[in-house]
Amino acid sequence: MAGEHIRAMKEAIDSLRRAERDAVQKLAAENNPNTRAEFREIHDTLKTMRTALKAETSLIARLLKLIGLFQG
């Protein structure tokens, strides 16, 4: 169960990185003042999502350590 959750988190982070890379490539091709504002908005959203994923991953790691202590 915990392994599935960790795998899902890893897939979410990988998907987030792909989305960011794709957005950067698209906006770089259209480089103008309007897309710079759009890029900044996308970047800020992705940064917020990345922070939330990192916090969730940290919580999972702590829970797994705690479970390991009780099982060991």
Report the number of distinct structural domains present in the chain.
1
| Per-residue buried b or exposed e for 18-51, using 16+ beta carbons within 10 Å of the residue's own CB | eebeebeeebeeeeeeeeeeebeebeeebeeeee
pLDDT < 50 regions, the chain: none
Q: pTM for the complete prediction?
A: 0.53
Which residue range is the domain that position 48 belongs to? 2-71
Contacts of 13 (CB under 8 A, 6+ apart): 50, 53, 57
